[in-house]
A = this chain, B = another copy of it.
Amino acid sequence: MQQKPVLHTLLSPRLLDLYEVNDSIVVIIDVFRATSTITTALYNGAEKVIPVSGVEDCIAIGKKLNAVTAGERDGKIIEGLQHGNSPAEYPRSFIEGKTLVLTTTNGTKLLHMALDRGASEVITGSFPNLSSVCEHLATLNKNVILGCSAWKDRFNMEDTLFAGAVISKIKKYFTVHCDSSLMANDMYQLHCNNIYSFIRKTTHWHRLASYGLEKDLEYCVTADVANVLPQYYDGALIVK
């Protein structure tokens, strides 16, 4: 019998070096809101999304490529950029055919860390593209790290719930031994039928809801509403 590949769940970017990154597909998860926004922009026809770490890079690349610049720090639009980190800002009527250059607090940071550590493949995951992520991982027969972007390196609930949603759907294809995966799966099973009310208890909800973002956050925990697979290729996230 062929040995199954291994699946791990990373709970904070700070712990990334504990895992065999260069032998794994890394799924970057930043439910509120970077990876939800990325899949939405691509679903609505964006040509590509370029994730960058810093604001200056974002402005420079945006100018060079005549692209849309967007970014958020601590949940707010950054001065000097054109747009924020809300999926609602990227309907087809606006983003189709365009390039989006995006910088965020947590998600783009983890993505670059995974690239720096030589991940064999980097994709992004969020509830809006849950099924695409699961189908991709289930067919490849490679080791997987579900990478929660967390909040400034602290554990967060929403990324963990998404990791649990993935595990609950594809665990039969993997060896899943790590306690963080066991926990994520349990948390998802416990709350999958009341996710809109449960998510209101999280710290990130309280942080962002105070900016009037409730509708955004509800969209970000809705499965398969922008169901494409953003894959990192040649400096950008694209749909192949």
Q: Which residues of A contact B (CB under 8 A)?
A: 11-12, 14-15, 18, 151-157, 160, 177-180, 182-183, 186-187, 190, 201-204, 206
CA distance A152 to B18 in the complex (A): 9
Q: Would A203 and B177 count as touching, CB distance under 8 A?
A: yes
CA distance A154 to B155 in the complex (A): 12
Among residues of B, the one whose C-beta sits closest to the C-beta of A9 is: B155
Given A11-B11, A186-B187, A187-B186, the answer on whether A180 and B155 have CB atoms closer than 8 Å is yes
**16 A-B pairs whose Cβ atoms sit less than 8 Å apart in the complex:** A11-B11, A12-B12, A12-B14, A12-B15, A14-B14, A15-B153, A18-B152, A18-B153, A154-B178, A155-B178, A178-B203, A179-B202, A183-B187, A186-B190, A187-B187, A190-B190
Known A-B contacts: A12-B14, A18-B154, A187-B187. Give 15 more (CB < 8 A): A11-B11, A11-B155, A14-B15, A18-B152, A155-B179, A155-B183, A156-B179, A157-B179, A157-B183, A160-B179, A177-B206, A178-B203, A179-B204, A182-B202, A190-B190
